A and B are shown apart, each in its own frame.
Chain A
Amino acid sequence: MSGWRRHTGRIAHLAMENVDTDQLIPARFMSAPRSAGYGSFLLHDVPEAAPQLTGASILVAGRNFGCGSSREAAVYALVDFGIRAVVAPSFGDIFAANAVNNGLLPARIDTDFLERLADAKGTAEIDLEACEIQVEGRTVPFFLDPAWQQKLINGWDDIDLTDQHQPAIRSFRKAYRDQAPWAWPGREEDA
């Protein structure tokens, strides 16, 4: 995954609350392999969203975007469609983590700013380092966990990061096993 600092793209509005992951990608598409591309599944059963989305890479939506299931396929659908950032007052927890793991920015903004963005059309510029969106001469700040900001900017992969901590993991495991052997599953044949 490659990192990024700035992105300029067209804004699309999805003026709905609680856009859940079942709407982002209906379950019936989820047995498809990723190599086929998930972009055509995005909001498949929400046809009113389609005209808005064409050519957009920044999606502005209502609160609790991405609530619901842990399906990372919801993020694949957004990313494969070409969306780079979702701007909303709040996100489903698991969705937001999945987004960052795929280079998609979940930008959390105050509801007041959402209203200011509501009439914004055309192009916006996202500055990941400053946590700001520039649109039609206005600057809108957004919130992002600092650890997630670094991940997005550097395109870090957690498995590589964690590998550096293998000695700490090994010593933790040993001490933990000594302290709480019952935290390991009992063997069935012992029962």
Chain B
Amino acid sequence: MNGPHTLFEKVWARHEILRRADGAALMWVDRHFVHEGSHHAFARLAERGLRVAEPGLTFGVVDHYAPTRERGWIADPAIRRMIAMLEENAEGHGITCFGLEDPRQGIVHVIGPEQGLTVPGVLINCGDSHTSTHGAFGAIGFGIGATEVAHVLATQTLWQAKPRVMRIRVDGALGPGVGAKDVALGWIARLGADGARGYAIEYAGPVVEALSMEGRMTLCNLSIEGGARCGMVAPDAVTLAYLEGRPFAPAGADWARAAEDWLTLASDRNAGFDQDVVIDGHEIAPVVTWGTSPEDALPITGMVPDATSSAHARDALEYMGLVPGRPLVGTPVDQVFIGSCTNARIEDLRAAAAVLAGRKAKVPGIVSPGSSLVKAQAEEEGLDKVFEAAGLEWVASGCSMCVGMNGDLVAPGKRCASTTNRNFKGRQGQGARTHLMSPAMVAAAAVAGALADVRPMLEGRPL
């Protein structure tokens, strides 16, 4: 490759097998994650009598329907069947599967990185839109539908049109109590839920460089909520330190060669971007959503917006049961949820526990760690005791109340402060009212029993 190139272009070029005259490129896929929802794709394969082309590059994970309590016997036959189908398909095709009983089980976008399956420079697909998470490592990761899942299973390739590239640079530094979730919801509110449609995003700048891998994953995870194809961060020393020694990461001589290669992936100094967005980190306050799209987000210090601004706002406020012009702070919540591929890694749990330590939650809630290994680590650190002492329920790992497929639902009309990624109507259950925010902000909402600014609660506490 000649001339300056972006991180995205470098990784894309490595995977392009061929490009047709109409612009469609055939791309090589390095990692393919499947879950219970992939049954449509396996059925398609079976109809055509096809086998999985690269079982060694395909990994199964039980997460969407995983029970968070009582794993020994699943009462709901539909859920039991979904999990059994994945485990059978994985076994039949010789695919490694992180099943319900596996100590490494967890949410696909948590365990991919945790196991060292997600590494820089690779292309990762999964039949799940939050596959953008894996871009935190300098990989191209994006979600695909069932027909495409079947195509990847059968050929280990995918047809794609090359997206344009947007850089979101976050300058300065973040204040206490402000994190990756606030940065993400902030840019989505500014550009819109389709503001990055047709783009791959590269997150850059001092704030992004200072983020841990957990923070970078949260940022990249939410790229899809702004309509982006994927989100990426250039691999650096933080990336390498996270990956070294992980079970599936390269080891020995391979590790040294890989690390050297990965550090060359960063965008060249003079690389051009199709769009450049600059955000001042100092100006970011903790953010909450007020409506039914992730773009309906405001600083916690704001007011419920004017309903006359658009038909969408009117409809959203009616669904959410909010009164225009009132402060967001003080809006009573019925329950809280800490979990999901967006915010259930160890650092997220630590941030929530730092607020909850020595305090009581005024409302019920559940805490579902992103993986069984995160759960074990949190227990080793005593975080489970902090959550339980506060009155929250500590449960097993899975997608849980983010999508409600396993039966963890918010009841109709109930308001939930949630660390998840979607405040869509009915997402957490029919008629459920979701407010998205960071783990620290959910903890603050639990303590106050209402939407609250976490910053005063952090004063005098170690961060």
User: A residues bordering B, Cβ < 8 Å?
Assistant: 15-18, 20, 22-23, 26-28, 30-31, 34, 45-46, 62-64, 67-73, 75, 90-95, 97-98, 101-102, 145-147, 150, 158-159, 161-163, 165, 168-169, 172-173, 176, 180-188, 190-191
Which of A71, A176, A188 sits near B14, CB closer than 8 Å? Answer: A176
**B384-404 interface bits toward A, Cβ cutoff 8 Å, 1 = contact, 0 = none:** 000000000000000000011
**B271-310 interface bits toward A, Cβ cutoff 8 Å, 1 = contact, 0 = none:** 0000000000000000000001101000000000000001
Q: What is the bound-complex CA distance between A45 and B345, given in angstroms?
A: 32
Whether A93 and B82, one on each chain, are in contact in the complex, defined by CB atoms closer than 8 angstroms, is no
For B127, the closest partner residue in chain A by CB is A70
12 A-B pairs within 8 Å (CB atoms) are namely: A22-B424, A22-B426, A22-B427, A62-B312, A67-B227, A68-B422, A145-B161, A159-B150, A168-B18, A169-B157, A180-B261, A190-B252
Chain B residues with Cβ below 8 Å from A147 are 20, 22-24, 159, 161
Q: What is the bound-complex CA distance between A191 and B28, given in angstroms?
A: 26
Q: What is the bound-complex CA distance between A53 and B320, given in angstroms?
A: 25
Whether B147 and A98, one on each chain, are in contact in the complex, defined by CB atoms closer than 8 angstroms, is yes
Tell me which of B116-124, B209-217, B435-443 binds A: B116-124
The reply on B379 being an interface residue by CB < 8 A is: no
Whether A94 and B159, one on each chain, are in contact in the complex, defined by CB atoms closer than 8 angstroms, is no
Whether B245 and A191, one on each chain, are in contact in the complex, defined by CB atoms closer than 8 angstroms, is yes
**B136-162 interface bits toward A, Cβ cutoff 8 Å, 1 = contact, 0 = none:** 000000111111101100111101010
Chain A residues with Cβ below 8 Å from B146 are 72-73, 98
Interface centre among B65, B250, B310 (most CB of A within 10 A): B250
For A15, the closest partner residue in chain B by CB is B311
The reply on B198 being an interface residue by CB < 8 A is: yes
* Shortest distance between the CB of B24 and any CB in chain A (Å): 4
Q: What is the bound-complex CA distance between A154 and B252, given in angstroms?
A: 50
For A35, the closest partner residue in chain B by CB is B43
Whether B405 and A30, one on each chain, are in contact in the complex, defined by CB atoms closer than 8 angstroms, is yes
Whether B128 and A191, one on each chain, are in contact in the complex, defined by CB atoms closer than 8 angstroms, is no
Contact status of A185 and B129, CB under 8 A, knowing A27-B405, A169-B155:
no
**B185-214 interface bits toward A, Cβ cutoff 8 Å, 1 = contact, 0 = none:** 000000011100110000000000000000
Chain A residues with Cβ below 8 Å from B30 are 183-184
Q: What is the bound-complex CA distance between A134 and B144, given in angstroms?
A: 32
Q: What is the bound-complex CA distance between A72 and B150, given in angstroms?
A: 12
Q: What is the bound-complex CA distance between A42 and B30, given in angstroms?
A: 35
* Shortest distance between the CB of B222 and any CB in chain A (Å): 12
Whether B404 and A27, one on each chain, are in contact in the complex, defined by CB atoms closer than 8 angstroms, is yes
Q: What is the bound-complex CA distance between A69 and B425, given in angstroms?
A: 13
| Additional pairs, 4, CB under 8 Å, beyond known A162-B159, A169-B28 | A67-B193, A69-B143, A93-B229, A162-B155
Chain A residues with Cβ below 8 Å from B249 are 186, 191
For B79, the closest partner residue in chain A by CB is A31
Contact status of A150 and B78, CB under 8 A, knowing A64-B194, A67-B227:
no
Chain A residues with Cβ below 8 Å from B154 are 159, 162
Within 8 A of A (CB), among B18-66: 18, 20, 22-24, 26, 28, 30-31, 37, 40, 43, 48, 50, 56-57, 65
Whether A162 and B57, one on each chain, are in contact in the complex, defined by CB atoms closer than 8 angstroms, is no
Whether B248 and A26, one on each chain, are in contact in the complex, defined by CB atoms closer than 8 angstroms, is no
Whether B22 and A150, one on each chain, are in contact in the complex, defined by CB atoms closer than 8 angstroms, is yes
The reply on B377 being an interface residue by CB < 8 A is: no
* Shortest distance between the CB of A89 and any CB in chain B (Å): 9
Whether B257 and A182, one on each chain, are in contact in the complex, defined by CB atoms closer than 8 angstroms, is yes
Contact status of A28 and B56, CB under 8 A, knowing A146-B23, A191-B251:
no
Chain A residues with Cβ below 8 Å from B194 are 63-64, 67, 90, 92
For B249, the closest partner residue in chain A by CB is A186
* Shortest distance between the CB of A144 and any CB in chain B (Å): 11
* Shortest distance between the CB of A178 and any CB in chain B (Å): 12
The reply on B326 being an interface residue by CB < 8 A is: no
For B77, the closest partner residue in chain A by CB is A31
Within 8 A of A (CB), among B410-446: 422, 424-427, 430
Q: What is the bound-complex CA distance between A180 and B166, given in angstroms?
A: 27
Whether B28 and A176, one on each chain, are in contact in the complex, defined by CB atoms closer than 8 angstroms, is yes
The reply on B173 being an interface residue by CB < 8 A is: no
Contact status of A182 and B254, CB under 8 A, knowing A22-B425, A70-B128, A168-B17:
yes
Chain A residues with Cβ below 8 Å from B159 are 147, 158, 161-162
The reply on B69 being an interface residue by CB < 8 A is: no
Chain B residues with Cβ below 8 Å from A158 are 147-148, 151, 159
Whether A188 and B17, one on each chain, are in contact in the complex, defined by CB atoms closer than 8 angstroms, is no
Which of B17, B31, B145 sits near A98, CB closer than 8 Å? Answer: B145
For A100, the closest partner residue in chain B by CB is B147
